[in-house]
Amino acid sequence: MTTMTDTLCRSAGTEQPATIALVDDDRNILASVSMTLEAEGFEVRTYVDGDSALRGLSARPADLAILDIKMPRMDGMELLSRLRRQSKMPVIFLTSKDDEVDEILGLRMGADDYIKKPFSQRLLIERIRTLLRRHSNRADEDELVESEPPIVRGALRLDLDRFSCTWQKKPVDLTVTEFLILKALAQHPGHVKSRDQLMDAAYGESIYVDDRTIDSHIKRLRKKFRAVDDEFGEIETMYGIGYRYRES
């Protein structure tokens, strides 16, 4: 089934530019950011509120969405919640300087990243390319010469080719960022991973995010697993150091 997460659409064997949905009630941001993204080769669709964006994206899926949090008619949080019911496409939140609570809530709800306003448009482009690369790396899995073996740790199974996760044979729906963090932990049970190491695993060395972002992803991971098994406790916090996946 075709989903919004396809990052490069192919037509007659020709790669088409990735489509970015930009949602913000500030028309100056819509104009300046869309011009920058189009100059980088992206196709951009702009929306001035969450309601119009939801209708537009339901009719014409995009490859990645950039959502402002505070918008009229339907804010970014509600839009993300509704989009996640039908799509795993990467989502970047735009937040104002004092929206720390909103940033954390957004990450817990399934956003892949966030950028504070005012922001560098070059940084935004780097974040976009990083997220699109992660998704497109799995879009062509049928063309891979060799599949990566799954990671199995007791009741946990991570299918690396399909970015799918199960616990006790029940599916756990993870974003790509969550999957990469869990993979980094589960590859070496008992080994402590610092927040910096988890940042590199999830975002790459060229992208900086603060410690709170990783902590929020970990909280979301635990919540998703506990929805399947309320006794889940395999992701352990090593205070002042980082996290580890519990040894069997």
Q: Are residues 129 and 52 in the same domain?
A: yes
Q: Are residues 206 and 225 in the same domain?
A: yes
Over residues 39-89, the pLDDT tens digits come to 999 999 999 999 999 999 999 999 999 999 888 888 888 898 888 888 888
Task: Tell which of 70, 104, 137 closes a domain.
Answer: 137
Over residues 172-229, the pLDDT tens digits come to 988 778 888 999 999 999 999 998 898 888 776 555 566 677 888 899 899 999 999 9
Task: Tell which of 97, 119, 137 closes a domain.
Answer: 137
Average pLDDT, the chain: 82
Q: Are residues 131 and 151 in the same domain?
A: no
- Max CA pair span of the chain: 54
Q: Are residues 99 and 162 in the same domain?
A: no
Task: Identify the domain containing residue 39 by its residue range.
Answer: 10-137
Confirm whether 67 is domain-assigned.
Answer: yes
More confident site: 98 or 4: 98
Distance CA 154, CA 172 (A): 15
Confirm whether 3 is domain-assigned.
Answer: no
Which pLDDT score, from 0 to 100, does residue 102 have?
Answer: 58
Q: What does the block give as tokens for 71? A: 């918008």
Q: Are residues 130 and 164 in the same domain?
A: no
Q: Are residues 106 and 153 in the same domain?
A: no
Distance CA 112, CA 45 (A): 20
Q: Are residues 60 and 41 in the same domain?
A: yes
Q: 106 phi and psi, to 5 degrees?
A: -60, -45
Confirm whether 5 is domain-assigned.
Answer: no
Say which CATH number the domain at 24 has.
3.40.50.2300
Confirm whether 1 is domain-assigned.
Answer: no
Q: 13 phi and psi, to 5 degrees?
A: 80, 5
Task: Tell which of 83, 117, 137 closes a domain.
Answer: 137
